[in-house]
Structure formats: structure tokens, C-alpha cells
Structure 1
């Protein structure tokens, strides 16, 4: 569906990006107890912790942006290893949101490497209704690049944390970074993740992001083969946990079939406000947080201690990187055959690969959006001609 042109900067912004976030990412700490070789976080060795005042300011902002009749805003604790704060401090950060959570206006989620999870952490997460996402890259051989600062493998500690979640009965999802090694072993990867007892699987093919710029990304042919094998595995494992990327493609195809695809095409990008440990707010991509560049004023849209989110979002159309991203979306819409499905994809990848947001195709586009569609089309074609 073509978007009508407009000369009004705010109207142009709202044509592409929602005025209300569906999720807000909070960085409780910049520090991570692991030192994975592909990590994109530039400050993961620094122990900056979010003051309670920042969390309270976010809670006040979310109060202004939501009401009890609408869907809850997801508060995602991420962009470092949140559990390194310790239970007492993490509980203090959760406390300002409790009345909102009780009213059904927020839903907490945490992305963790699980190495610190024990029964006491499970108690805290359960009490606050925190949904858990675990970062794990598959069986031991495929998880080898998840190491601590002494270079020791984290695999056994991750499994111990997952075991605590399972014994407690706390559901969890998993996200795996797909390296060049696991790209050629999707069945082993998926079999292992399924055996962990997770409720869903997300597959992030390694990409240029943040300070992770030294590894070669897969070519399109390898990515197509990977997704084709994932599709085949999923077809033969109907009781396995859903794969996030396949679910997204399935939603698009179902909406195309039943005539509701305009809802997909009209859906606007989430501004994804990311609040860093010191209260600075970055928009469009959590991966931009803590990235230093004078050209974009470090991507700061404001600071939550000085401005509420509503005011920061109201001025978002004035930010250089945001306006560049809008141009990039226009460029994608007019030049890419896959745009109807991907809707312009990720802002951060454009910057980290091209140094600008007006660029179009990225390695992420090829390996996760285009390759998935091509694999599905090829798989369907084989099924119908067999």
C-alpha cells in the first residue's frame, strides 16, 4: 500500500512510526558477566547501574502513555546482563511499576544469559510476573563463543540456570545467535533448544552490529539453505516450540490469504524507546544505546529525568537519524520487492553497516528477511511439484 506524500515532518513521522510505544527497553546496567566474542555492547565491562530515580521516571511516563483498556506496554530489561545488579537492586527497579502491573498496563520481560539464575531469582521473577528470555546458542560446540572474562565457557552455567527455571516451573523463551558454524547445523541447534523445554525460539543470524564488525556474515545462498532446513525441521516437528521468524512469516501469509493484509501494511514501526542506565533515551533500535557519534549526538533523543517519554516522542521527528530512517523507509518501499513483508526492517543495521539510515539493503535484510521468504517459496514450489 503506497503512503501518501506529505510535507509536514510530524505527519511524515506518524505515517511510518507509532506515536505510542508497544515496548520500552530499560538498561538496568551496562555490565555483563560474560564476554561473548560477537557481543555488540561497547560498555559491557563497565559497571554503570540505573538509579531507582530513572526507573521511577519511566514508570511515570508509562502512566501517561497507557490506560487500563489498552494492551500493556512491555518493559524489557536488557542491554547488559540485568541479573548482575543483584536481586535487591533489581527489585528496587521493578517496584515503581508495581501499580501499573497490577492494573495490567505493563508486562515485564528480561533477557538474560541465565548464568546467575537460582531459586531466589525465580522467586523474584515470579512475584513480579517477569517473562524470561534466555540467550543460548545451542549445544556445547555451538555455544563455544559464550565465555566469561577469563575465557571460560559459560555453557554449564547457562544450563544450570535453565534447570532452575524448569524446576521452578517458570516458562522461558530462548534467543540464539546463529553463527557461521550453526548456520550449517540448524537441526542440531533446534533439537537442542527444544530439549531445553523453552516455549519459543528466536534465531538471530549474526550481523554487523555495535562493536561486532569483525566477523563475516553469511551469503544469501547459505542463509536460504538455513531457513529451508528450519522450515523442514518445523514441518516435521509440529509439537516443537514455535520459531519466532517462521511465526512472523506465517502471520503475513495468513493475512494475505484472508484479505487482512492491509492491517500488516498499515502497521507502523514501534519507536522502541530505550532508556540507558543514566536515563538517556535512544529511539528505533536498542543497539544504538551507548554508541558514540558526534554526527548524531550519540542518538540521544532526551533524558527521562528531564523530559517524559511523551514529550521526547513528540519531538522525535526533529532528530536527524530519525528523519534519515524515514527516508530509508521511503527508499526501501520504492526499490525492494520484499518490502511488503519486511516493512523496512531494522534501523540499527543500516547505521552499523552503512553509517547512515537512508541506506536500504543490509546483511540482516538478506539473511533474515529475504532468505526466509525465498526459502519458503522454494519449499512450497518443491512440495507442489513433488
Structure 2
């Protein structure tokens, strides 16, 4: 009996544009708040620590195949972990080169490694820069006190090595410095965190909300019921005002720029806001294809697809029900979200933050009041600036 041909993709299905490849699945730090290793998902325990040459080569071919099939002109390759530099800079560079060599000549591959930076030496930074691999650094803030929970397995602080790496990139390889990723902590002073990060001269900042949901609320929320305080929204609006009134653009803050673009009716490019389909897919160290890691904060195996790069294409992943649900826009949102005047900007918030054990993801974000606070605040600042420009 012949196998059935694969179900055709719906017309105009957007291809994946971001490929997150887990080159190493372990970490040299033991951050106590880590949702990946301390959260409900345990799939990482049964996977090899590092991706084998066979997995990486097959992944490179699959990425190139997908780009050629869809006529992709630009794609993002993110080298991830765990801590990807445990695999060595030379291996990361070789894989980036392999993907570029295989993809069509008219497709630009933008490669970034996301790292805690503790293993980034001058030699490794030079290797990555020479091969066009940009470096994004994960920090909790620009001062040692902000990073007290980012320690190695012996309890030693990660800050000294990480700050050396940030300064190394800023001083010697600015072209390879992608920026800094920081998770919002409402117990910190927002202006202090922002100003301290500017001291590290990042070209861009990513301010991320901690991964929480209705079943496992994020830290710092006294309750999730109506009329609750908005500690995360308050923190973000304080940073926005410092950034907005800075007199010049000191750095890019992606969350703020995306919110402004959406308020102006322009397309967005972040899974935290807006209705545009998420275009990221993950390849784990054993070659399995998974949805983005943030889903692992919801429940064990939440990101699983049952697919792998040896037997399946990325078009197969586009057909997966979980992927389809995350790319369904307003149709996948709760009724309260669809009726909200902030729908096209908020977009229901991050998909993982909508989870509740009794009904899955058919809910507003657990951060709904905080997001409303931020969006309305930015809208008011934009309206005031627009009105002032007209006078």
C-alpha cells in the first residue's frame, strides 16, 4: 500500500524565517529561575549534551531546502542552548558557514549566538566575528547585584566574566555585538537597570517578561484576578519614558519599537505583541524539531512535535497542529481578546503566557493588565508627540 502524499500547505502559508538550533543542550550556569532546566519540562534530560556533526549537517540541509522551496530572501539562524559556547566557537562558525553555503545565493542568512557570555574569550569573539556570527548576551542587569541569581554550579557569580565579554565586544568587535537580553524583575529599579545596561554599550536591548502563566503565575504578582496591580507594566513604562525622553536613541529597545510600529499600523516582528504569525522553529541536539522553548514553561512535552530533521522537512512542521495554532492570529485568541480595542497591538500577548491547565492556551495573557498598561502608555506618548509636531 502506497503512503499518502503529505497534506498540502494552505495557500500563502508563511515559511519559517527563524531557525533556532540547539548546538549544546547543557549549561555551565545554574540560574535558580531558569524555566528550561528548573521548569516542568524534562525532555532535555534524555537528549545528548551536544548536537552531533550528523545532526548539524542534516539541519543545515533542511534549512536550505526550506529556503529554496519558499523562495526565502532573508532568514535568521540562532545558535542556542543551554550554553552554545560549550560546543566551541569554531564549531559554531563552521555550522553557520555550512548553512550559508547550502542556502540559495539570493538568501541572506543572519546568524546570532545567544550566550551567557561567561565563556567568550578574545579568541572566540574574533572567530565568531570573522565568520559573521553576531553575539547576543543574556544578563539580568548591568550591575553585579542584578545578577546575583546567575551563578555557576558551585555558586560562583557569573557577572565578572559576562561583563568582561560585553566590554570586549563593544571595544574590539562592535560589528559582532548583537545586544543584551534581560528578563524583567519588578523588584529592581527600572531606571537603574536601564542605565546600568547602557554602560555596556549594547546596540539593542530585549526586555522580556518572565515565563509564567495562569497555572504557574510569574513572580511578583499578588494575584491574577480583576483589578490587580501592574508591577510589570509599571516597570516597563518607567523604562520606556527614560528611553523615549533620552534626547537621542541611546540603544534600540525591541519591545518598545515593535509596540510603536504596531500602533502606527506597521507589521510587527516579535512573538510578544501583535498578530503576525510566529516564524520560529527549533531543532534540538538530537535532531528533533520542536516549537519554541517558551512553551516548555507550560507543561512537560508542550513544545514537542514528533518530528525530526532526518525524517521530516520543515514544511512538515508547518502542518503540525501546534504550529498551526500558534500562527492562527486572532482566530486562536480568547473571545475577550478578540473584543479588546488593543487587539492588533497586544495580539493576546505571548502564547506561552496564555496557558491554563484546565483549558490550554485559549486565554488572555496572564500579563494582560500589564500589557494594557504599557500599550496605552506608549500610545499616549505617541499621540502627544504627534500632536506637538503638528503645532
Shorter-normalised TM-score: what interval?
A: 0.7 to 0.9
CA distance in 2, matches of 1:143, 1:266: 31
1:341 aligns with 345
TM-fit CA distance, 1:357:
3.7
State whether structure 2 residue 264 is matched by structure 1 residue 254: yes
Report the equivalent of 1:65. Answer: 66
Corresponding position: 1:129 with 2:132? yes
CA deviation vs aligned residue, 1:8-52 (integer Å, no higher than 9, x gap) = xx89x969x953011111111111111112111136788611112
Counterpart position of 2:3 = none
Matched residues in 1 for 2:184 and 2:275: separation?
A: 28
Q: Which residue of 2 aligns with 1:162?
A: 166
Tell me the CA shift for residue 275 of structure 1: 0.8
Using the alignment, how far apart are the partners of 1:379 and 1:319 within structure 2?
35
Render the CA deviation track for 1:157-191: whole Å, top value 9, x for unaligned.
Answer: 11111122123223231111111322xx1111111
Deviation at 1:203, TM superposition (A): 0.8
Q: Relative to structure 2, which stretch is displaced further, 221-230 or 270-279?
A: 221-230
Alignment equivalent of 1:240, drawn from 250, 259, 282: 250
Find the counterpart in structure 2 of residue 359 from structure 1.
362
Contact 1:350 1:356 in 2 (8 A): no
For residues 237-273 of structure 1, what are the alpha-carbon distances to aligned partners after superposition, in whole Å with 9 as ceiling and x for unaligned? Answer: 1231021111011111233xxxx67999996312421
1:335 deviation in Å? 3.7
CA positional deviation for 1:212: 8.2
Q: Distance in 1 between matches of 2:65 and 2:324?
A: 26
How far 1:148 sits from its partner (Å)?
1.0
In the alignment, which residue of structure 1 is the partner of 2:150?
A: 146
Provide the rounded CA distance (Å) in 1 between the counterparts of 2:305 and 2:93. 27
Greater CA deviation, 235-244 or 45-54?
45-54
In the other structure, the counterpart of 1:229 is 238
Q: Is the 8 A contact 1:82 1:110 kept in 2?
A: yes
Question: Residues of 2 paired with 1:77 and 1:332: CA distance?
Answer: 37
Separation in 1, partners of 2:125, 2:256? 30
CA separation of 1:22/1:344 partners in 2, compared to 1, >3 Å: closer, same or farther?
A: farther
Separation in 1, partners of 2:297, 2:369: 26
Residue 214 to residue 84, structure 1, CA distance change in 2 (3 Å):
same
Gapped regions of structure 1 (runs ≥ 5): 1-9
Q: How does 1:3-42 map to 2 (within 5 A)?
A: 18-42=13-37
Identify the match of residue 174 of structure 1 among 150, 174, 180: 180
Cα distance in 2 for residues equivalent to 1:226 and 1:87: 36
The structure 2 residue matched to 1:311, chosen from 316, 334, 340, is 316
Structure 2 unmatched ranges of 5 or more: 1-6, 223-227
The alignment partner of 1:180 has SS state of: coil
**In structure 2, do the counterparts of structure 1 residues 212 and 130 end up closer, same or farther at CA, with 3 Å as the change threshold?**
farther
Contact 2:234–2:374 under 8 Å retained in 1: no
Which one has the bigger helix percentage?
Answer: 1
Q: Give the CA RMSD over aligned residues.
A: 3.7
Change (3 A) 1:76 1:27: same
Q: Deviations over 1:94-134 (max 9, x none)?
A: 34213147934321111111111111111221122112111
d(CA) in 1 for partners of 2:320, 2:328: 12
Identify if the C-alpha distance between structure 1 residues 266 and 252 changes in structure 2 by more than 3 Å, giving closer, same or farther: closer
Q: Are the aligned partners of 1:18 and 1:269 in contact in 2 as well (CA < 8 Å)? A: no
Q: Please give the secondary structure, in 2, of the residue aligned with 1:163.
A: helix
- Cα drift, residue 277 of structure 1: 0.8
User: Residues 217 and 30 (structure 1 numbering): CA distance in 2 closer, same or farther, change over 3 Å?
Assistant: farther
- Listed one character per residue, the Cα deviations across residues 274-325 of structure 1 (whole Å, up to 9, x for unaligned) are 1111111112x3223698747x6x6224111111212332x32487976999
Matched residues in 1 for 2:229 and 2:184: separation? Answer: 14
2:107 pairs with 1:107 = no
Aligned residues: 361
What TM-score, normalized by structure 1, do the two folds share?
0.80
1:299 — aligned with what? 304
